[in-house]
Structure 1
C-alpha cells in the first residue's frame, strides 16, 4: 500500500498486484450503467432498439476497459489515480443517466444524446492523458497513445457527434459505425507500448465485470415482479432464472477464466498484451452482452408470469424478447468458446453447438409458454455445463 508522500502521486503496480477496493468502488457506476442498458431495451423491445442498446453497451464497455488497463499498470488507490477515478465515475454516472433518453430525448432538459457523447469523449480523453502522465519516459507507450488518439478516439468521436443530431435508424447506424472504427482502430495501433503488468489483476478485473453483469440478471428477475403478487409460478420462474445465472457463472469461473488467466501468465511482452486485448477486451464484450440480453428475456418472463391480470400462463414471449432469452445465452456460449480457442487452442463442440442452438431457439420460444421456455433454458444450460466439464476433464486427463 502507498504510504506518506507516495499517496499523492501515481505508483506503478507490481507483478503480484491484485484488485484494490478503489477499483471495486469505481465499478459501482457500471452496475447502474448496465441496469440502464437493460431498461433501455425493455422500454421499447424492438430489433432496432436491441441493436442500439448493444451500441451503447459497447461504448460503456470501452470506458470500463480503458481504466481496467490503466489500473493494471498504476495503483488505483494512489492519490492522483484515485482522484482521476472519482472524476471518471462522475462523468460515467452522467452517461448512465442519459442512456434511457439516448434515442428518445425527453423535452424540457438537456439534449441527452449530445450529453452522452460529450461525456463519453471526456472519459476517453481523461484515460489518454492519465496514461501519458503515468509513464513520462515510456516513448513506445506515448507513440501508441498518439496513434490511439488519431485512429480510435478522434474519428469515432466525430461520428458520435454527427449521430447525436440524427434519430431512428440513421442514428443507430452512424453510432454503430463509430464503434466499429473505434474497435478496429485499437487493433491497428498494435500491442507495442501497452503493458499487462499483473495477469492475475487483469483476469480478476474482468471476472468482476462478469459478476456485475450476472448480478444485473438477478436484479432483472426482481424488477420483473415489482409491484406484482408472488405466486407459485413466480417462484418457479425465479428458481429457473437463478439456475440459468448459476450455470453461466459456473461455466465462466470454473471452466473459462482459470485457463485464460493461466495462459496470460505464461506469456510476456507483446504476446501477453495481444492475448489480453483479444481474449479480454474484445471477446469479453459479447460475453457480457449475452448476459444482458438474457437478463432482458428473464425480466419479461417474470413480468408475464406475475401479471396474471394481463397475461395467461400459456402465453409465450413475443418478438425480439423471445429471441433475447435464449439468444443471449447463445452469444455467451459462443464467446466462451472463442475465449477457449484464443487462449489455449481448445475447441469446444458443446459450447459451439449449444451456442448455435440457443441462437436459433427463438423460433421455438415464441410457440411455448414463457415459463416453460425459461425452465427448458435452465435445463439446457445445466446440461451444457455438465457436458463441457466432463469433456474438459477427459481432455486434461489424456489417454490412459
Structure 2
C-alpha cells in the first residue's frame, strides 16, 4: 500500500499488519483486537484524555464554589457524594483507556460524549439536591452504563467482554439508585445517593463479582503501569490547577489590597506545598511502584482510593483558600478554621495511604502533620483566617522539608505490600 491511497502499513508485535492514516493513528478494519492498546508502543496519555481532564477543572471548581456557598455539615456531605460520582466517572474511564486505545476513533466517540455528560453533571452541581437532581443523575447513569455497554458490544469475543458485562450489570443496579434518589427530595435523596455512591466503592472492591461468573477479569488483567500512573498524576495536577484557578479568580475580583495580597500568597504557598508533598517521592515513583507490584491491577485500584482522598482534601483546601482571600481578618469562626486546616489533613491521609502502598510504610512526618492539623483546628479558631493559613503553611513546610532530608539520608526503593489474602497474584 502506498501513502497515496490514504495510509501506510505497519507491523505489529503479533505479526498483523495495521493501517494508519499517515499520522500514526491506527485505522481499524472491524477487528475488536484493533481497539486494544498495544503494550509494545509508548503508553503516554493521549490528547483526548488530556482534553477529558480539562472538564474536571470545571467540575471541581463547581464543587468547591458550591461548598463555599453552603459551608455546613450537610453541604459537605452533598459535596462528598457528588465528588464520588465524578471520581467514578474519571476512574472507570481511565481504566477503559488503559485497556483500549484512545487514539482509535471508535474509542474517542465514546470518550467525547462522556466529556459532554460530565459537563452536564458539573452544570447541575449547585442544584443537584434540588430541582436539577434528575439532570445530574441521568447524565451520570448514561455515562456509566453507556461506557460499559459499548465495551461489551465492541469487544465481543475478547477476554475483556465478560468483565465489561459485569460492570454493565453493576452500573445498572447503581443507576437505579441514582434515578430513584432523583425522584425524591430532601434527606431521602441524600440517603439514597449516599448508598449509591458507596455502592461504587463496594462493586469495585468486589471486582464486579456476580453469581456464577465470579470476579470480573477487569482487575486481574495486565495494566499499563506507565499510562495509569501518568493518569493519576494528571488528575492531581488538574485538582491543583482548580485550586489555583479558584484562588486566583477570588483574588482578581477583590483587588490588590495589602491584606488580600498576603492572603493570596499564603494560599499559593499551601497549594504549592501540597503539590510538593505529592510528587516527592511516591507520586513521582508511581509508575515504578505499579510495575513492581505483584498485582498491579489491585494496587492501582487501591491507589485510586488514595487519590480520591487527596482530591477531596484539595477541594476542601480550595474552599479554605477562598475563605482566606475573602475574609483575611474576619472574626473567630470554627467552621472556617476546620476547613482551612482539615482540607490539608484529609489530603495527608490520602498521601499517607499512597506512602504505604508504595513503600509498605508511612512517613512519620505525615502522621504528625495530620494530627497537628486536626488537633489545632479548634485551638486556633479564635485567630483570623490569614493567621490560620500561616499555621497550615508552617506545618506543611515542615513535612516537605522532612521529606527532602529523610530521602537524602535514607532513600527507599518501591516496595508495595503483598497482595491481600485470597488475591490471585498473577496479572
* Alpha-carbon distance in 1 for matches of 2:334, 2:182: 27
How far the C-alpha of 1:19 sits from its partner, in A, is 0.8
Q: 1:187 to 1:369 in 2, by over 3 A?
A: same
* Alpha-carbon distance in 2 for matches of 1:125, 1:319: 42
Report what 2:212 is aligned to.
none
Q: Is residue 143 of structure 1 aligned with residue 180 of structure 2? A: no
Size of the aligned set, in residue pairs, is 379
Report what 1:324 is aligned to.
339
How far the C-alpha of 1:180 sits from its partner, in A, is 1.0
- Name which of structure 1's ranges 87-96 and 124-133 shifts more when overlaid on structure 2: 124-133
Unpaired runs of at least 5, structure 1: 106-111, 306-312
Q: Is residue 217 of structure 1 aligned with residue 243 of structure 2? A: yes
* Alpha-carbon distance in 2 for matches of 1:377, 1:36: 24
* Alpha-carbon distance in 1 for matches of 2:265, 2:147: 41
Contact kept in structure 2, 1:351 and 1:388, CA below 8 Å: no
- Name which of structure 1's ranges 77-86 and 158-167 shifts more when overlaid on structure 2: 158-167
Contact kept in structure 2, 1:91 and 1:123, CA below 8 Å: yes
Report what 1:170 is aligned to.
188
1:223-234 alignment runs, 5 A limit: 223-234=249-260
Higher RCO (Cα < 8 Å, 6 or more apart): 1
Report what 1:96 is aligned to.
122
How far the C-alpha of 1:162 sits from its partner, in A, is 2.1
Q: 1:320 to 1:172 in 2, by over 3 A?
A: farther
* Alpha-carbon distance in 1 for matches of 2:410, 2:273: 21
Report what 2:15 is aligned to.
none
Q: Is residue 127 of structure 1 aligned with residue 153 of structure 2? A: no
Contact kept in structure 1, 2:26 and 2:103, CA below 8 Å: no
Contact kept in structure 2, 1:330 and 1:355, CA below 8 Å: yes
- Give a deviation string over 1:34-78, Cα, whole Å, max 9, x none: 111111101211111111101100100100111111111222121
- Give a deviation string over 1:186-224, Cα, whole Å, max 9, x none: 111246334453211111111111011111111221233
Report what 2:37 is aligned to.
13
* Alpha-carbon distance in 2 for matches of 1:224, 1:235: 11
Contact kept in structure 2, 1:72 and 1:196, CA below 8 Å: no
Instruction: Using structure 1 for the length normalisation, give the TM-score.
Output: 0.89
* Alpha-carbon distance in 1 for matches of 2:107, 2:222: 17
Contact kept in structure 1, 2:306 and 2:353, CA below 8 Å: yes
Q: 1:129 to 1:397 in 2, by over 3 A?
A: closer
RMSD over aligned CA atoms reads 2.2
Structure with the larger helix share: 1
* Alpha-carbon distance in 1 for matches of 2:26, 2:286: 33
Unpaired runs of at least 5, structure 2: 1-9, 11-18, 208-214, 414-427
How far the C-alpha of 1:320 sits from its partner, in A, is 3.1
How far the C-alpha of 1:133 sits from its partner, in A, is 4.1
Instruction: Using structure 2 for the length normalisation, give the TM-score.
Output: 0.83
